[in-house]
Structures are given as structure tokens and as C-alpha cells.
Amino acid sequence: MNIHTPASDPAADETATLARPTQAEAEEAVRTLLRWAGDDPRREGLLDTPKRVASAYREWFCGYEDDPVELLARSFEEVEGYDEMVVLRDIRLESMCEHHMCPIIGKAHVAYLPNGRVVGISKLARVVEAYGKRLQIQEKMTAQIANTLLDVLQPKGVAVVIEAVHQCMTTRGVHKSGVSMVTSRMLGAFRDDPSTRREFMSIIQGPRGSGEG
């Protein structure tokens, strides 16, 4: 969501403090964390690390540059008559837990029941990416993806299931490896009609073709 605050607005000061820091400031913050970890940022192997980390952050958090609503709204097409379920399964999901800034890695399955409008499947994946490449909690991300599809496409229903491993759980804290978290949001027909929901679940749980990695 883009909120433009006029310069005269008292809230503008607040906005200014949230402005993106400079590259130098970001690199200095990484040096601080390197020292916090117990190492010496002046060590040869670490000299370029702050620069690399700063640019990696731009990639990991590129979702903030995207407006998922705009992404979908620009691309839908009116189609006559196609009213079967559209499912995109096994969408690679890369996100970052907002509590620990640790990776959340998994997959998303997205479906909708068109009501005259369809979008290219790549757009569904882009919406997952736009919400994924931010600081997130999985439950919120699942709801955001579903709600956006519902608002923009106005389909008869939307279903989103996300299965993901949280590295803050596997590499620290409770150290539970092999545990994945599953969240889902069913809206419209997927919530109200058990047979629609069953069809979706059997599609996403069904056998994968041999061509998939």
C-alpha cells in the first residue's frame, strides 16, 4: 500500500525517521552484528561482507517494492465461460520470519474459482513472491495472498495453503528439524462447499509429474 504523506503533514516527521538508510549506514549495521557475533569486521575475509549483506537484503526484501493489487489488476482478462478451478501448486516460497529475520522456506498452493476474470498463472506466483519477500509471519502472509486475490479478481472463491520450514525453529531455539508449518485460508466456495474444498485438497496432494524437481 502506498501512502503519500504531504510535507506539511505532522506525520511527515514520523515518515522521515522510517526512510531507507544509506548504503553506508546499512553496512555499518552489519559490521555491528559481525562484532556482536564475536568476529572482527576488519578481518580480510569479512571486508566485503557488509556490502554483500546489504545487497542480499535488497533481494530478500524486494517484495516491499511491489504492490500486489496493482500486479493483478493490470493483468486480468475477461473470459467467457471458463468457470473451472484454477490451481497453481508447489510455488516456491522464500520469506523471512519477522521475529528472528530467519528464512522461511517452503511452498504455496493457490487456487481460485473464476467469476469471469482470470489472470496469467505467473501473476499468481508473483503475488506469492510480493508478500513473501518481506518480513512475515506465515499466518499473515497466507491471509494477505488470499484476501488480495479475492479483492482484485472477485472470484467465487479462493484457497491458499502454505507449507514451510522456519529456520528459526530448525537452527536455534527448539532445534526441531523436519517440522513444517501448514497454514491455509479458504474463502467463498472453498469455505462453504465441502466438495470444492475436497477437489482442491486432492489436487494439491495428488501425484507430481516426473518432470518436476
Q: How far is the CB of 50 from Zn ion (least distance, A)?
A: 23
Return the range that interacts with Zn ion (CB under 5 A); candidates 6-14, 56-64, 163-171, 181-189.
163-171
Q: What share of the chain is helix, strand, coil (3-state, %, to 5)?
A: 45, 20, 35
**Contacts with Zn ion in 68-97 (CB under 5 A)?**
97
Q: How far apart are CA 52 and CA 60, in angstroms?
A: 12
Q: How far is the CB of 71 from Zn ion (least distance, A)?
A: 27
Round to the nearest angstrom and report the end-to-end CA distance of the chain: 35
Among 29, 87, 165, 168, binds Zn ion (CB under 5 A): 168
Instruction: Give whichever of 58 and 172 is closer to Zn ion, judged by the CB atom.
Output: 172
Q: Closest Cα to residue 112, out of 202, 184, 189, 201?
A: 189
Among 58, 74, 92, 99, binds Zn ion (CB under 5 A): 99
Helices 23-37 and 49-60 pack at an angle, to 10 degrees, of 110
Q: How far is the CB of 142 from Zn ion (least distance, A)?
A: 16
135 binds Zn ion (CB under 5 A): no
Q: Tell me the H-state helices in the chain.
A: 12-17, 23-37, 49-60, 68-73, 121-132, 138-153, 167-170, 189-192, 194-205
Distances (CA, A) of 73 to 49, 67, 70, 171, 182: 39, 10, 5, 39, 28
**Contacts with Zn ion in 42-71 (CB under 5 A)?**
none
Q: How far is the CB of 68 from Zn ion (least distance, A)?
A: 23
Return the range that interacts with Zn ion (CB under 5 A); candidates 4-12, 98-106, 110-118, 174-182.
98-106
The one-letter amino acid at 171: T
105 binds Zn ion (CB under 5 A): no
Site size for Zn ion (CB under 5 A): 4
Among 89, 100, 107, 117, binds Zn ion (CB under 5 A): 100
Instruction: Give whichever of 123 and 166 is closer to Zn ion, judged by the CB atom.
Output: 166
The residues carrying an active-site annotation are: 97-100, 138, 166, 168
Q: How far apart are CA 178 and CA 132, in angstroms?
A: 21
> Which stretch of DSSP H or E encloses residue 155?
none
Instruction: Give whichever of 110 and 164 is closer to Zn ion, judged by the CB atom.
Output: 164
- By the 10 Å C-beta count (0-12 exposed, 13-18 middle, 19+ buried), 136 is classed as buried
Instruction: Give whichever of 56 and 101 is closer to Zn ion, judged by the CB atom.
Output: 101
Contacting residues toward Zn ion, per CB under 5 A = 97, 99-100, 168
